């Protein structure tokens, strides 16, 4: 039985009339930055897309157009390029540097969000070996990070997206419930293909981020390859579990994995059999399998995931 009084109900539904400023952030999105390390004749390329957003002290900017505390988005962009003069390094470290600068140099800045995507380039292989300064874009996955700062606290969520993988066997799907709308045929040998998006939360910034990234990527690929899959969900969990078992600095990992369906083409009208060889690669609709794999004993940190969208 409800014990709420009519007066309480009306207090809960009536507005005081005051309009206030809620959560806000501002900055420059998608600053494209390419840095060439020319310290030796064998150049190194860093190719990133940086978004900087600051939080704090913006009441007057919004209410009155008083910009005295509005660090211009143009200044944020310039800071990104200026910091790159000293090198970019691991994208997580670059984002952490930016956050530290803005929070320490402007006393009203309480925190912010720095998101970086990194595209990788391989050296062109010539008849004389790897070229020193000619590159071919590696169109595999994009590496990502979202670093957020709340006062002195730093939250790092790193990841990858568009890691497209396929197994031509070693995948089954059967035993699912059947009702009057079920037409899917059970299979004990299908193609399993997905484009992995994953993001993992670090519990510390004292990490060799480049080394851990390479390790996490390799573990995900290995688990995808070696798990005999009875469902994409099972493969996803195996990938996450393997990462958490190998990397103590990671508390949890989220996945979003489209099931890129490959349908066997019926060649019977042409008098041909099709022993699992000819497929139609459908692009839509696709199954969408999402989950978080986490350590039971590590406290949740919703602030790390705030504004990191695209997962359940």
Ligand X SMILES: O=c1[nH]c(=O)c2[nH]c(=O)[nH]c2[nH]1
The binding site for O2 consists of 73, 259
Q: Output the smallest distance, CB 231 to ligand X, in A.
A: 4
Q: Output the smallest distance, CB 193 to ligand X, in A.
A: 11
- State how far the Cα of 125 lies from the Cα of 259, in Å rounded to an integer: 34
H-helix or E-strand containing 102? helix 91-105
- Is 62 considered catalytic here? no
Q: Closest Cα partner for 232 from 206, 270, 262?
A: 262
Q: 77, 167, 254, 261: which is the annotated catalytic residue?
A: 261
The angle at the Cα of 208, spanning 207 to 211, to the nearest 5 degrees, equals 135
Q: Does 231 bind ligand X (CB under 6 A)?
A: yes
- For ligand X, which stretch binds (CB under 6 A), given 102-110, 124-132, 227-235, 277-285? 227-235
- Is 261 considered catalytic here? yes
> Which residues contribute to the annotated binding site for urate?
73-74, 173, 190, 233, 259
- State how far the Cα of 12 lies from the Cα of 6, in Å rounded to an integer: 10
Q: Output the smallest distance, CB 232 to ligand X, in A.
A: 4
Q: Does 244 bind ligand X (CB under 6 A)?
A: no
Q: Does 184 bind ligand X (CB under 6 A)?
A: yes
The one among 287, 291, 292, 294 contacting ligand X by CB under 6 A? 287
Instruction: Spell 205-233 as b/e; 16+ CB within 10 A means b.
Output: eebebeebbeebbebbeebbeebebebbb
Length, in residues, of the chain:
312
In the chain, DSSP assigns E strands to: 26-37, 44-55, 111-126, 129-150, 153-167, 192-202, 250-259, 262-264, 279-281, 287-294
The angle at the Cα of 37, spanning 35 to 41, to the nearest 5 degrees, equals 140
The one among 27, 259, 293, 304 contacting ligand X by CB under 6 A? 259
Q: 43, 61, 73, 131: which is the annotated catalytic residue?
A: 73
Q: Does 89 bind ligand X (CB under 6 A)?
A: no
Q: Output the smallest distance, CB 168 to ligand X, in A.
A: 16
Whose CB is nearest to ligand X?
232
Q: 28, 77, 254, 260: which is the annotated catalytic residue?
A: 28
The one among 223, 232, 250, 308 contacting ligand X by CB under 6 A? 232
- Structure tokens belonging to residue 165: 């993988």
Q: Does 227 bind ligand X (CB under 6 A)?
A: no
> Which residues contribute to the annotated binding site?
73-74, 173, 190, 233, 259
Q: Output the smallest distance, CB 40 to ligand X, in A.
A: 48
Size of the site for ligand X (CB under 6 A): 7
- For ligand X, which stretch binds (CB under 6 A), given 5-13, 160-168, 231-239, 291-299? 231-239
Q: Which contacts of 224-229 are long-range, i.e. CB under 8 A and separated by 24 or more positions?
A: 224/165, 224/167, 224/194, 224/196, 225/165, 225/167, 228/170, 228/171, 228/172, 229/167, 229/170, 229/171, 229/172, 229/192
- Structure tokens belonging to residue 253: 């990992």
- Is 133 considered catalytic here? no
Task: Tell me the catalytic residues.
Answer: 28, 73, 261
Residues that bind ligand X (CB under 6 A): 173, 184, 231-233, 259, 287
């Amino acid at each position: 039985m409800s014990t709420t009084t009519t007066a309480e109900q009306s207090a809960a539904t009536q507005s005081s009339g005051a309009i206030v400023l809620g959560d806000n952030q501002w900055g420059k999105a998608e600053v494209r930055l390419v840095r060439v390390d020319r310290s030796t004749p064998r150049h190194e390329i860093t190719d990133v897309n940086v978004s900087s957003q600051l939080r704090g002290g913006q009441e007057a900017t919004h209410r009155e157009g008083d910009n005295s505390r509005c660090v211009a988005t143009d200044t944020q962009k310039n800071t990104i390029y200026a910091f790159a003069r000293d090198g970019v390094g691991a994208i997580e470290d670059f984002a952490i540097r930016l956050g530290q600068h803005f929070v320490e140099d402007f006393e009203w800045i309480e925190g912010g969000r720095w998101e970086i995507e990194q595209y990788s380039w391989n050296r062109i292989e010539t008849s004389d070996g790897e070229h020193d300064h000619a590159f071919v874009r590696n169109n595999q996955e994009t590496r990502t990070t979202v670093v957020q700062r709340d006062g002195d606290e730093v939250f790092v969520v790193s990841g990858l997206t568009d890691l497209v993988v396929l197994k031509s066997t070693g995948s089954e799907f059967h035993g699912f419930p059947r009702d009057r709308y079920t037409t899917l045929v059970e299979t004990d040998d299908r193609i399993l293909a997905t484009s992995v998006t994953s993001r993992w939360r670090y519990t510390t910034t004292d990490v060799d981020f480049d080394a851990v990234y390479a390790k996490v990527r390799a573990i995900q690929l290995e688990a995808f390859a070696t798990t005999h899959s009875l469902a994409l969900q099972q493969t996803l969990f195996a990938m996450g579990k393997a990462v958490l078992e190998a990397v103590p600095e990671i508390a949890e990992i989220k996945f979003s994995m489209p099931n890129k369906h490959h349908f066997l083409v019926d060649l019977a009208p042409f008098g041909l059999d099709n022993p699992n060889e000819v497929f139609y690669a459908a692009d839509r609709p696709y199954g969408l399998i999402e989950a978080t794999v986490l350590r039971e004993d590590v406290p949740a940190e919703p602030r790390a995931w705030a504004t990191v969208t695209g997962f359940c």
